[in-house]
Amino acid sequence: AEMKQVMKSLDNITWERLNTETVTYPSLSPTDPGQAVVFGDGFPRAEGRAKFTPAAVIAPDEAPDTEYPMIMTTGRQLEHWHTGSMTRRAMVLDSVEPEANCSLHPKTLRALGVEPGGMVRLTTRRGSIDIMARADRAVSEDMVFVPFAYVEASANVLTNPAIDPYGKIPEFKFSAVRVEAVQSIAAE
């Protein structure tokens, strides 16, 4: 009840309706399936107009350089959220994504001489991890994406703890990184 009072987005959207029909926000009546355009008649402000606040772009704490020439970003995978503390215990989810992995553009993998499924070493100013590499055209050629759900290849060993001056959150989404092929024991 408290949420309903403060979250108008729940108006006319009930569990009963969601169990039997598709309802989207905003729903203007108990029978309205939802509106195609949000705020089509104006924004919930006195003059009905949106308020935009310009934001200055703040450069990241560290930029790529000759020693750490690429950018690492972290995030979630479909199968594992956050640290994986719950999803990695779910046998179905863990069987779909059982191994720590990172994603690199296919051209980047070729330049490194690494086949998809091969191992790479990611090194930042804070540490290194060895992790299986995947080819992903959605990742820029100068980037590597690392999920943070794997304790055995912890992304946070690598991330930058610099704090955003406004949001007061660590800069987990941007770190300068070096990516190298990990030679197998048989090859050494």
Tokens of 159: 């991330």
Tell me the backbone φ, ψ of residue 166, rounded to 5 degrees. -100, -50
* pLDDT tens track for 140-160: 999 999 988 777 788 889 999
pLDDT tens track for 97-120: 667 889 999 999 999 999 999 999
Alpha helices in the chain (DSSP H): 2-6, 15-20, 91-96, 106-112
The torsion angles phi and psi of 11, rounded to 5 degrees, stand at: -55, 130
Delineate the domains of the chain, giving CATH numbers in brackets.
1-47 (no CATH), 70-181 (2.40.40.20)
Distance CA 33, CA 43 (A): 20
CA-based radius of gyration for the chain: 22
User: pTM value?
Assistant: 0.70
